[in-house]
Structure 1
Amino acid sequence: MPTIGTTASTAPLARRNPVAKLAAALLFTVALLATLDPITPAIAIVIELAVLPLFGVRYAELVRRAWPLLVSALGIAVTLVLFAAERSGTMLLDWGPVAVTTGVLSTALALSLRLIAVALPGVLVFASTDPTDLADALIQNAKAPPRFAIGTLAAFRLVPLLGQEWQMISMARRARGVDSGRNPLAAVRVFGSTAFGLLVGAIRRGTRLATAMDARGFDAGTPRSNARRQHFGFADGLLVVGAVLLAGGALVVSVLLGTFRPLLG
């Protein structure tokens, strides 16, 4: 599993304050939820891919990190095309039980693109942000409770361990002769049992970590100092404003093209 954060800290947007990057990502994605058309998220994806080098993230790295997102978007599109109840619009394909219309295709495409457009900003932010800087910025700039911020830091530090533990559980099961072979039903059963074992291990590790953190005074309630200062400057404010303007521009283009479909109303 890829690690959280990246070493490309010299990239222009990677150097920005973590709270500013979080705020920009949140405001950019909130605007995408205002419409149901496929044009707005498509424009948003183009913008996100265009600014990718500014975050110091390579396109190959983005694919490596976000491939489950692409699989999920494809699954949503296929499910809607096959099982949608409403078949409005012009018939494009009528092949037995499969009936694809322009309305169904537009809805499936819009939802898939929106999923990618909403998730990509989060991937960019966390791929270009050091977890320690994020925790420090949440405490200093967002005034988040230290218990929450330090817990968030601990969670990010433990995420890469899940991939390693999954491999260990799988190897241990194969060593004991638990293998699905080419049976798809057995593969689903083995996957479920492995996921359950991973969940149990994660809960145990989290409980031990919480106890250790409490024993070290992380929940003492006394004021804590910060070793590294996180400054929210003018450039950080420009990042937030720029995200709002880009999201608004995507919505304006959708309105001008006549494809805007408000979520409410």
Structure 2
Amino acid sequence: MILAPAPVADPAAPLARRNPVAKLGAALLFSLPLISTVDPVTPAAALLVELALLPAFGVRMRVLARRLAPLLLAAAGILVSMVLFAADRSGTLLLALGPIQITTGVLTTATALILRIFAVALPGIIVFATTDPTDLADALVQNAKAPARFAIGALAAFRLLPLLGQEWRALALARRARGVDAGRNPVARLRLFASTAFALLVGALRRGVRLSVAMDSRGFDARTPRTHARLQRFTGADTALLAGAAGLAALILTVAVLTGFFQPVIS
């Protein structure tokens, strides 16, 4: 599965060995400032920096491409929406299809939004590709002082994520065995997709309730402090990673402002 939670990067890579909380904080510090701009240059520069740092995290390009594949659907949706419904049609007219006018301004805005989605999502993908979920939960409790109930519950949900794909295939095969098939009818396909998604949601909720009851019965809701089998240490190198991420984000925004490319979301 594309969203499989198991780490797939080289664990011996320099930045892959860093504390999970440090990697998660660095991803947030680097990607959040990108939300403040709508120009295409700033997220493009951020993407170049992120791709340049991939070897330091031990992530291979083929693995990254597989995990970025779902974002291509979002990019296509943004492009179609901007072409059809964009209010600003400034710039040079490139193509006119009846009432739809495709201009350079529309394509520039769509490109900026698509690049920003990839630039914001890529750090998170790198973090989860280089981090074991159990280590992340332990680090959240030990270093970020997150509630143990929240961290362990999130870990359990993350571990169960691959089951959604298996259940979807099982539901589809079961309905096909009962003769429920949409064929080539797009409306029937949409209805079948909606009903399968609803059945998957109901099954996930039931499993979540059973898991919650099972965890509570084993003392996960106890108020007493819990011990940790894996100690997560936050070192000076982890602090340097946070500072480096904040510094790179500030440098990219500063260069964009000085060169005149920076366009704030609210002008």
Shift of 1:223: 0.5
Shift of 1:122: 0.8
Q: Which runs of 5+ in 1 are unaligned?
A: none
105-114 or 14-23: which moved more? 105-114
Shift of 1:58: 1.5
The equivalent of 1:6 in structure 2 is 7
- Alpha-carbon distance in 2 for matches of 1:231, 1:49: 27
Q: Which runs of 5+ in 2 are unaligned?
A: none
- 1:121 and 2:145 correspond: no
Match of 1:182 among 172, 181, 184: 184
Question: Which residue type is aligned with residue 221 of structure 1?
Answer: R
- Alpha-carbon distance in 2 for matches of 1:264, 1:85: 16
The equivalent of 2:199 in structure 1 is 197
- 1:250 and 2:252 correspond: yes
Q: Calculate the aligned-residue CA RMSD, in Å.
A: 1.3
140-149 or 253-262: which moved more? 253-262
Shift of 1:210: 0.5
Match of 2:68 among 66, 69, 75: 66
Specify the SS of the correspondent of 1:33.
Answer: helix
The equivalent of 1:76 in structure 2 is 78
The equivalent of 2:38 in structure 1 is 36
- Alpha-carbon distance in 1 for matches of 2:18, 2:91: 46
Question: Which residue type is aligned with residue 5 of structure 2?
Answer: I
Shift of 1:42: 0.8
Question: Which residue type is aligned with residue 29 of structure 1?
Answer: S
After TM superposition, the structure 1 = structure 2 runs for residues 165-180 of structure 1, keeping only pairs within 5 Å, are 165-180=167-182
Specify the SS of the correspondent of 2:32.
Answer: helix
68-77 or 134-143: which moved more? 68-77
Shift of 1:100: 1.2
Specify the SS of the correspondent of 2:64.
Answer: helix
Match of 2:164 among 141, 147, 162: 162
Match of 2:88 among 86, 89, 113: 86
Shift of 1:98: 2.3
- Alpha-carbon distance in 2 for matches of 1:182, 1:263: 43
Shift of 1:53: 2.5
**CA-to-partner distance for each residue in 1:131-154, whole Å, 9 max, x for gaps?**
100010000000001001101111
Q: Is the Cα contact below 8 Å between 1:44 and 1:250 reproduced in 2?
A: yes
Shift of 1:81: 1.6
Q: Is the Cα contact below 8 Å between 1:70 and 1:116 reproduced in 2?
A: no
Question: Which residue type is aligned with residue 64 of structure 1?
Answer: R
- Alpha-carbon distance in 2 for matches of 1:170, 1:57: 33
Which 4+ stretches in 1 moved above 3 angstroms? none
Identical-pair percentage: 64
- Alpha-carbon distance in 1 for matches of 2:51, 2:191: 38
Question: Which residue type is aligned with residue 117 of structure 2?
Answer: L
- Alpha-carbon distance in 2 for matches of 1:155, 1:238: 31
- Alpha-carbon distance in 1 for matches of 2:99, 2:52: 40
**CA-to-partner distance for each residue in 1:37-73, whole Å, 9 max, x for gaps?**
1111111111122222322222111121221112102
Question: Which residue type is aligned with residue 60 of structure 1?
Answer: R
Q: TM-score, normalised by structure 2?
A: 0.95
- Alpha-carbon distance in 2 for matches of 1:198, 1:53: 38
Shift of 1:85: 2.1
After TM superposition, the structure 1 = structure 2 runs for residues 18-37 of structure 1, keeping only pairs within 5 Å, are 18-37=20-39
Question: Which residue type is aligned with residue 100 of structure 2?
Answer: V
- Alpha-carbon distance in 1 for matches of 2:13, 2:46: 21
Q: Is the Cα contact below 8 Å between 1:57 and 1:124 reproduced in 2?
A: yes
Specify the SS of the correspondent of 1:231.
Answer: coil
